[in-house]
Amino acid sequence: MKSLKTCKSELGSNDKVLYELGLAALGIGIAAVLLYVCTGINVLRLNYPCVFNKVTHLCCPGCGGTRALRALLHGEILKSLYDFPPLLYGIVVYAVFMTRCFLYRHFGVKKSRDGAVNVHIYIFIALVFAQWAVKLVAQLCFGYYWF
């Protein structure tokens, strides 16, 4: 029987990298909140032009992501889903993955099988491209712009 100490360090290399990237994303989020609390600067209100949109005059695959996050933070779930449907799915997958990895690394709680998160990443990517295709069809065929 393996000791708890050896179990804690056995995250697969893919899961380990994703967990560390997730911690970095969490750190960036915390820094954004601290920036807002300390200085009043809201990074979600900064409007940087989308290079893809400026060059092609089409919506990009991530078009609506910032608006969706802003709406979600204000409790407007339906508006968030309208602006960028994959966001809510991505947040749920992120939260579950990070919680499971944390519990596994620090308490030895059973983790999901190696590579299980890859399926969710592929689903997220498929959702991004599906919503992008819908937005492109709406824009090119019907003149409806999401942005």
Stated pTM of the model: 0.82
Would 123 be classed as within a structural domain?
Answer: yes
Would 64 be classed as within a structural domain?
Answer: yes
Range of the domain at 132: 46-142
pLDDT, position 48:
79
Would 138 be classed as within a structural domain?
Answer: yes
As averages over each run of 10 residues, the pLDDT of the chain (147 residues) reads 45 84 96 93 83 90 91 94 95 93 86 77 96 94 84
Would 28 be classed as within a structural domain?
Answer: no
Would 97 be classed as within a structural domain?
Answer: yes
Would 54 be classed as within a structural domain?
Answer: yes
Would 58 be classed as within a structural domain?
Answer: yes
Number of domains in the chain: 1
145 φψ region: left (φ > 0), alpha (ψ -120 to 50), beta (else):
beta
Would 12 be classed as within a structural domain?
Answer: no
